[in-house]
Structure 1
Amino acid sequence: MKSITPQVGFVLVGGGAKGAYQAGALKYIAEETTIEPHIIAGTSIGALNGAVLAANLTFDQGVRRLNELWDRLGDELILRPNTSTVLKTLSNAAQTTVPTFEKWSLDLLVQLQLLPKHTAIFDPEPIERLLREAVNLTNLRQGKELWVTVIPSLKIPGIDYDLLMSLVDLIRARIGTKAQWLCAQNFQDDETLYNLLLASAAIPLAFPQREINGQFYVDGALGDNIPLGALAAQGCTHAIIIHLDNGVIPIIIFFLELQ
């Protein structure tokens, strides 16, 4: 009987600010086990966490770097909302999971019959700056294979991507627009690769859509928040899913055998 060499993949699920818990779970794995990922698949904040891991020479270094960044985020204003009352209300919801945020935004806009003419609730500059500081793209291209979940966004020539178009993307995701898994190492242009990482966390209404090789994308959590299929497609035999839950326990680690 032919033996199969174990290939372990990590699935880093989306969950907004709860990504700090994910960093803590990874720290536990690094310190208390000998498990290291061969491949990483991430969605939303999980994709950004995964990029930091993959951009370091070793798993231990990546985990240390990731936890340093989350410690630093406690002192920085990364989510910088606009000042109107409506947008402040929406920003509170945007810092939770995508489904909750979607419900808040839709309910509020329906009740107020108001669609402000802003392309995004949050200023994208702080998170863009942090990503460029945290992720060395040369190292990322040479690091652990990273798959990023995104979902195609609607772009109509001559029409700005305002809040109305953001709502269209939310509705399209609800009725079945499929997410895509894109490999970070396949992108050689720096700006395109940064846009890929930012696209996975580009929650409609909260952050602007991102263009990648002529196609626009938004937050992959709308279509596939647990990209286990990306690992299965690449031949992983086992997967650890670090899930950010809304319940009492914020982190659930699942170990699955794929084959």
Structure 2
Amino acid sequence: MGDTTTDFTEITYRVTDRIATVTLNRPEARNGYTVRMADELAAAFDRADRDPEVRVVVLTGEGKDFSVGADLSQGGFDFDPDTGPDAAWQEPAGRCSKRIFTMDKPVIAALHGSAVGGGLTITLSADYRLAAADSRFGFVFTRRGIYPEGASAWFLPRLVGMGRAMDWMISGRLFDAAEAEQAGLVHRVHDPAGLLDAAYALAADLAANTAPVSVAVTRQLLYRMSALDSPAPVHEVDSKLIASIGTNPDAAEGVLSFLQKRRPRFTLSPDKDLPDFLPWSH
């Protein structure tokens, strides 16, 4: 079954075989990032997160580049330049990266061509970044006299360490897929022709073999608790989670399917079955 939504103008959204594909769709502008695109991306990820038929999201770009970053030629930001933004205004890249951060479902970014500036920071909260071998990356802000956005100063050091984050962000230099992979920014590098196939193969494996609630809890455990200064509060949550296994039908199914050497049929759903004691759910 496939479902393509035409509600968007600067991205496309399609659901096929439990995988939602979100595609940046301004190839004539090398997928330059706009305020409209930011809001459409946030809405698309929200739709995928709330759709019980979606298990995984693949994020990619139409044309030869993933995204060359902010395109302010479309009218600038969504506030009056004379009066400035109000206190609640949120810069566009973070509208996407923060929505991915809160996802209950894994997100796989498939990066090709140029992925620079906001065209890279929006992907830092994805679970996976796969790259074409000819990709080029850059946090180019200092070379434009502007500043890192998308909460990238929080995400990037957690992915590659403070030293590499400093190098890339202070210099603003471009770097290739091999350096990105070596540093841990991207998980794997693929031949450009096989990049999307690799992304969909990974998505299909996650959809077929992982439990939706287990994935939702695990990605949030990592994101929200790995930076604490003690393991004690993490272990408190772990203990409650493990104690709940006895009444968890997915846990029983996971063991049974393993013993019977068959694909699991998990029944719990993140939209209604997340544990109510998770500290970030209040």
Same fold (TM over 0.5): no
TM-score (norm 2): 0.25
TM-score (norm 1): 0.26
Higher relative contact order (CA 8 A, sep 6+): 1
- Please tell me whether Structure 1 or Structure 2 has the larger radius of gyration of its CA atoms: 2
